[in-house]
Amino acid sequence: MRKLRHRFLVPMVAVSALALGLTACGSGGGAPASSGAASQPAEKIKLTVGLFSDFHYAPLYEEFKKTHPNVEIVERRAQFNDHHTNLITQLTTGAGAADVVAIEGGYIGSFTPVPDKFYNLKDYGLGKRESEYLPWKWKLGVSNDGTSLIGIGTDVGGLAMCYRPDLFKKAGLPADRDEVSALWPTWDAYIETGKKFVAAKVEGAKFTDGAGEHFRAMVEQAPVGFYDAQYNIVAGTNPEVRKAYDMGIKMIDSGLSANLLAFSPPWNTGIAKGTFATMVCPAWKTGTIKDQKPGEGTWDIAAVPGGGGNQGGTHLALPKQGKHPKEAAELIDLLTNKESQIKLFTEASALPSLPELYDDPAVKDYVNPYFGNAPIGKIFTDAAKALQPQPAGPKAGDVLQAFNNGLQRVDQGKQNAEEAWAQVLKDVSRIK
């Protein structure tokens, strides 16, 4: 999940929007009998596709139109957070949602509890594609009650560890990516490496940016994270979460953390200036790094400790409000099929969610020159393959925020580990 929260609206605006919208709750659209059998080519229809950035779908739309000359496709884009909160509003008020909507991994858990707001994709023949998908990716799109398939996966955000070879050399550590990956099969080994880095006293550099992203990666590697299989919040009692938290505290106590909040301006500067040597790196974060212009080859990519991981990645879903579910389902089938996913990987670096493609030369042999010719295709897909499914709850983002704040309070020296933990649990208990 991208963490940027660009959205800030004056509360009153939110209130009025809410007030205006909530008149028509509950009437979920009620499927206006779509003109049934063998689609008449004469009937012109329009499909809207709601996305939160450029997914590079334009050539695929053209392809779709070859078989569906009567369909016109209009793409709407909104800013990331706006897109998802708008969607929630549109579903609640029963109007305004696009025929096809993108839902990102950080938000999908908010929609799986309400399958009645979406068409069941199994009714449109998409259920048979389950075998093609990464199991955890497929499961994210299934409703909480297990009856309905609300979303079908597009890309995934495989996890790696980005590091700076120059700082590693200064600290007397190996700088080659395979040797670096071998340094930390586990998070414990990662911390031990960090301690060596600290002992080498590299001027002006810490071992890593902060503990929050590491904590998140550790939690997501566990079989159960913040939510149990019945979608109850178990963050406070799950020993895996406590283990990840203690690991984060250990990183802080060992002096590994530069105490920088990911995506804050000083963090951005730190990427360019090298104030920290490693950071947890989903596939899309390579773009973030590049934006700070640290220079070619400054950052390199190694495997993530603990084996596998994912952050982000998207599903496509069909809100019940749409009038042409059949055509829309055919469209998302095309957008997510093997040929399309390969094209999107080469054109938009969107990591495929179909493991069969990971052995495709286009993915396997892809290297990124900006990161010292790192075999990005292989590193990130290995991570995505190794991940096990985990129940994603509706408020996982809020829970994570509470833990991040707790770790930061310790990092800033405001609280000790136990005080921070107690406050985190209090914050989590407030999340409904």
Partner 1 sequence: MATRAPDRMAAVPPKRPVRPRRRLHRHLAYQLDVKGSPYAYVAPFFLLFSAFGLFPLAYTAWVSLHEWTLLSDEQTFIGLDNFRTLLADDYFWNATFNTLSIGVLSTAPQLLLAIWLAHLLNRPLRAQTFFRITLLLPNVTSVVAVVVIFSQLFGRDFGMINWVLSLFGVEGVAWNEGVLTSHAAISTMIMWRWTGYNALIFLAAMQAVPRELYEAATIDGANGLTQLRKITIPMIKPTIIFVVITSTIGAMQVLAEPLLFGSYSITGGADRQYQTLSLFIYENFTKLDFGFASAISWMMFLFIVLVAGVNYLFTRRGKGGLT
Q: Reduce the DSSP state of residue 351 to 3 states and report it.
A: strand
Helix (H) or strand (E) run with residue 248 in it:
helix 239-253
Q: Which residue is it, tokens 């008020």?
A: 93
Q: Which residue is it, tokens 């250990």?
A: 250
Nearer to partner 1, 88 or 386 (CB): 88
Q: Are strands 71-77 and 45-51 parallel, antiparallel or unpaired?
A: parallel
**What's the closest the beta carbon of residue 27 comes to partner 1, in angstroms?**
10
Q: Reduce the DSSP state of residue 136 to 3 states and report it.
A: helix
Nearer to partner 1, 8 or 201 (CB): 8
CB 136 within 8 A of CB 387: yes
**What's the closest the beta carbon of residue 425 comes to partner 1, in angstroms?**
15
**What's the closest the beta carbon of residue 396 comes to partner 1, in angstroms?**
12
Nearer to partner 1, 18 or 74 (CB): 18
The candidate with the shortest Cα–Cα distance to 289, out of 193, 163, 187, 401, is: 163
**What's the closest the beta carbon of residue 430 comes to partner 1, in angstroms?**
9
Contacts of 11 (CB under 8 A, 6+ apart): none
Q: Reduce the DSSP state of residue 301 to 3 states and report it.
A: strand
Nearer to partner 1, 186 or 416 (CB): 416
**What's the closest the beta carbon of residue 93 comes to partner 1, in angstroms?**
9
Q: Which residues make up the interface to partner 1 (CB under 8 A)?
A: 3-6, 8-12, 14-16, 18-19, 25-26, 85, 88-89, 91-92, 110, 113-114, 259, 261, 263-267, 269-270, 273, 275, 394-395, 398, 401, 404-406, 408-409, 412, 414-415, 431-432
Nearer to partner 1, 17 or 222 (CB): 17
**What's the closest the beta carbon of residue 260 comes to partner 1, in angstroms?**
8
Give the C-alpha separation, 220 to 226, whole Å: 9
DSSP 369-393: GGGTTB-HHHHHHHHHHHPPP----
Q: Which residues of 4-24 are buried (b: 16+ CB within 10 A; e: fewer)?
A: eeeeeeeeeeeeeeeeebeee
Give the C-alpha separation, 189 to 158, whole Å: 21
Nearer to partner 1, 19 or 33 (CB): 19
Nearer to partner 1, 294 or 372 (CB): 294
**What's the closest the beta carbon of residue 331 comes to partner 1, in angstroms?**
26
Nearer to partner 1, 125 or 266 (CB): 266
**What's the closest the beta carbon of residue 39 comes to partner 1, in angstroms?**
33
What is the separation, in whole angstroms, between the first and last Cα of the chain?
21
CB 277 within 8 A of CB 206: yes
**What's the closest the beta carbon of residue 326 comes to partner 1, in angstroms?**
27
Burial class, 145, CB count within 10 angstroms (exposed 0-12 / middle 13-18 / buried 19+): exposed
Burial class, 432, CB count within 10 angstroms (exposed 0-12 / middle 13-18 / buried 19+): exposed
Nearer to partner 1, 210 or 375 (CB): 210
Within 13 Å of residue 17, how many CA atoms lie on the same side as its CB? Answer: 13
